[in-house]
């Protein structure tokens, strides 16, 4: 997942915008996993965020 790279690039002084850290904010987002449910990345996504934030959508 790319969230580790995002965390490395959060500028100093951003605590006022991310009081609980970047990971806490990203876990609030919704993620569409249509066509991306291969076992390994899907397991990583489920380990990182609540399953309520995982959406399966198609066109």
> Residue ranges of the domains in the chain?
3-55
In the block, residue with structure tokens 């995002």: 6
d(CA 34, CA 49): 16
59: confidence class by pLDDT, cuts 50, 70, 90: low
Tell me the pLDDT tens digit for each residue of 8-48: 888 888 889 999 999 999 999 998 887 777 888 888 888 99
CA distances from 7 to 15, 34, 43, 54 (A): 12, 25, 20, 21
Q: Residue 53: its pLDDT value, please? A: 92
């Amino acid at each position: 997942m790319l969230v580790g790279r995002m965390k490395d690039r959060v500028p100093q002084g951003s605590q006022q915008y991310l009081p609980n850290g970047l990971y806490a904010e990203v876990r609030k987002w919704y993620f569409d996993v249509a066509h991306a449910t291969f076992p390994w990345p899907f397991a990583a996504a489920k380990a990182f965020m609540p399953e309520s934030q995982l959406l399966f959508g198609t066109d």
